[in-house]
Structure 1
Amino acid sequence: MSGGDGIPREPRSDAGAGDVHARTFGSGAREARGERSAEPRPEFRSYYGRPVLKPPVWTWEVPAYLFTGGLSAGSALLAAGADLTGRPALRRAGRLGGFGALVASTGLLIADLGRPERFHHMLRVAKPSSPMSVGTWILVAYGPGSGLAAVAELLPAPVRAGLPGRLLCRAARPAGLSAAALAPGLAAYTAVLLSQTAVPAWHDARRQLPFLFTGSAAASAAGLGMLLAPPAEAGPARRLGAIGAAAEVVAARLIERRPGLVPQAYTTGRARLLRLASEGLTLAGALATVSVARRSRPAAAAAGLALLAGSALQRFGTFEAGVASTRDPAYVVVPQRERLNTADAGHTGRIGREVP
């Protein structure tokens, strides 16, 4: 603006503040009425193009740990059901497979921590507000029952005939049931652990991740049971596999169809390829489970391998989506600005209702 002498002058500070206030709330009011603003939408950017969030430093051991933990939990549930319904081959497969997955899971967790003593240090405290602390204690409480039930399956016949062997076999059922009671918590706590971080792709899917992980755990355990047990005893595994596969696929689709920008992390890049492969294998395994797997041992084994591979790829795809969402500032900045615009529009609407 210029004065009467033609010399350009800066606008007064109070007028500028009023203009900014009017533009801000005027834009919010127009957006609230469904009108398009003539002003260009600002573009997001970060300092020197660097990520807003620090990407997770976890390596491949973490998604592998997520898979083996879920496999162990699902196998414990399947083994307990087989024990109660008189299916010894399926019970043996579930107990041994569950304990083997638990050993692998513990090793992967210690490898990720860097030093074995760090796992011991995690047991020095118990914090109910920390998913990692709660999950560690679930893992510790789950382990003895799973291990005892697995050892009972490995006893040779002469040892079973002796007094110590008979006592151990009698303790195997309550041990297996105790592991089964803790199995749902073991399968789901890793989803809570991821969703309580600042990683946008994990935090945004916090309501779906527990269903995704538990469904994936059920499908993988069923796949292991179908792979190791004869079809005559694998009926519960087939039913669990169909239910788990359906829950996994539905939860994955719900994550991808959430409103906003963040779900794009699951449908682009490497995460998309991993999740597409996972869905294809899971659906193929589920289809074979309810059809040819009932009559053919090779078909049952192929269906079990498909469910196992689909579950593993689902965990790696979810992990990759989280890492990708921390590398692009858009996944942080755009949702924040959308929430601010929504709040401004709501505030403007309240002002309009209050002023006659």
Structure 2
Amino acid sequence: MTTSPYDAYRPPEQGGRRRRLRRPGGRRRGGGGADGAREMPMVPDAEFTSYYGKPVVKAPPWGPEIAAYLFLGGVAGGSGLLAYGAQLTGRKLLCRNARIGAMLAIALGSGALVKDLGRPDRFYNMLRTVKLTSPMSLGSWILTAYSGGMGLAAASEVDRLTGGRLPLGPLRRVLSAVEPAAGVAGAVFGAPLAVYTAVLLSDTANPTWNAAHRDLPFVFASSASLAAGGLAMVTTPTRETRPARVLAVLGVAGDLLATRYMERRMDPVAAEPLHHGRPGTLLRWSERLAIAGGVGALLLGRNRVCAAVAGAALLGASACTRFGVLEAGINSAKDPRYTIEPQRRRLAARRAAGITDDSITTAG
């Protein structure tokens, strides 16, 4: 048998000594000869700082436009429900202001969404199909249905506000006939509009959002409630805002409890981005503003000035919640630690429970 010059080649040794791998039982692999046949590590120990220079999970390229859409969608959804309650109880000013406020919020939010998408036709293309397993597909249809119903209801309110000066012609009778049904549509699709974005965020591989998937919709629903109540307190005389104040106080209580419960049930590592950096600052201010606005609505809501200040604080609390949650999730995707450590902890828990024969764990 002949040999080549390459048979004598050995990888260079570091520090004068070769590192040898150990078997699980503690024995070293490979022989002890000096012929280069022993097994040695060819790469350094893995440190989860990147995956070939890239994050383990790709962070979504979302900016403040999407955060604004999350906030304004919550305001619009909550206002749709509040407007329908005012419609049923005969509070005409509250109904008018809630409808117009909801329509302005959804118009601005849709504009922010289209700006992030880059072209309006990208939104239209999402309406070509209905996919029940896609929160984005369902959310597009929820947004469209809500905008149609609330648009008709708000148009009726604006026509009455201007003394019938809108150039509607014979359409005015049609608009008046469909207005009650349009208000119902705004209420029916208002609740899904307020919370579907929470499902959209948590139905991803993003570490922080996914870890909060069980409770984030409740946080967003409470945030939308206090924001809608706050907007009504800013725009409507106090003689008609009692339902708005009640909704705001309930929203504050739900927001504080749901946020605490969500963080307690999350993996502690995945929850860290909610407390650190700019997202942590935003969420702390959200809590402070929510408490201040809730106390103002409960104790000082019959004073017009105090009610308006409390309502503004509630709107600020909702905005801080949406911006903070969005930014915390983006930050968690950029650091592989928030992906790897919870995975290892879940894997260890499954093995400790004796689950070692599925596609996630192995018997090793």
Give the TM-score normalised by structure 1: 0.83
CA distance in 1, matches of 2:118, 2:355: 52
> Match for residue 5 of structure 2?
none
CA distance in 2, matches of 1:331, 1:272: 16
CA distance in 1, matches of 2:140, 2:253: 29
Give the alignment partner of residue 103 of structure 2, picking from 86, 99, 102.
Answer: 99
- CA deviation profile, 1:256-293 (whole Å, cap 9, x unmatched): 32343111111111111000011101110000000011
1:62–1:108 CA contact under 8 A, matched in 2 = yes
CA distance in 1, matches of 2:332, 2:122: 28
Task: Give 5+ residue unaligned stretches, structure 1.
Answer: 1-8, 21-41, 351-356
Give the alignment partner of residue 152 of structure 1, picking from 138, 153, 156.
Answer: 156
In the alignment, structure 1 residue 316 sits paired with structure 2 residue 320: no
- CA 1:286–1:10 in 2, change beyond 3 Å: closer, same or farther? closer
- CA deviation profile, 1:23-56 (whole Å, cap 9, x unmatched): xxxxxxxxxxxxxxxxxxx975544675211111
User: Percentage identity across aligned positions?
Assistant: 45
1:147-296 residue pairs with structure 2 within 5 A?
Answer: 147-155=151-159, 156-158=162-164, 164-258=171-265, 259-294=267-302, 296=303
CA distance in 2, matches of 1:126, 1:45: 39
In the alignment, structure 1 residue 70 sits paired with structure 2 residue 74: yes
Q: Report the AA paired with residue 277 of structure 1.
A: W
CA distance in 2, matches of 1:10, 1:290: 69
2:86–2:94 CA contact under 8 A, matched in 1 = yes
CA distance in 1, matches of 2:191, 2:135: 14
- Secondary structure in structure 2 of the residue aligned to 1:290: helix
Count of aligned pairs between the two proteins: 319
- CA deviation profile, 1:292-336 (whole Å, cap 9, x unmatched): 112x10001001100001100100000111011111111111111
1:149–1:176 CA contact under 8 A, matched in 2 = yes
CA distance in 2, matches of 1:321, 1:149: 37
- CA 1:318–1:170 in 2, change beyond 3 Å: closer, same or farther? same
1:256–1:264 CA contact under 8 A, matched in 2 = no
CA distance in 2, matches of 1:312, 1:47: 34
1:343-354 residue pairs with structure 2 within 5 A?
Answer: 343-347=350-354
Across the aligned residues of Structure 1 and Structure 2, the Cα RMSD in angstroms comes to: 2.6
- CA 1:163–1:112 in 2, change beyond 3 Å: closer, same or farther? closer
Q: Which has the higher contact order (CA 8 A, sep 6+)?
A: 1
Task: Give 5+ residue unaligned stretches, structure 2.
Answer: 1-17, 28-45, 358-364
Q: Report the AA paired with residue 224 of structure 2.
A: A
2:146–2:189 CA contact under 8 A, matched in 1 = yes
1:44–1:334 CA contact under 8 A, matched in 2 = no
CA distance in 2, matches of 1:169, 1:309: 35
CA distance in 2, matches of 1:163, 1:124: 32
- CA 1:166–1:348 in 2, change beyond 3 Å: closer, same or farther? closer
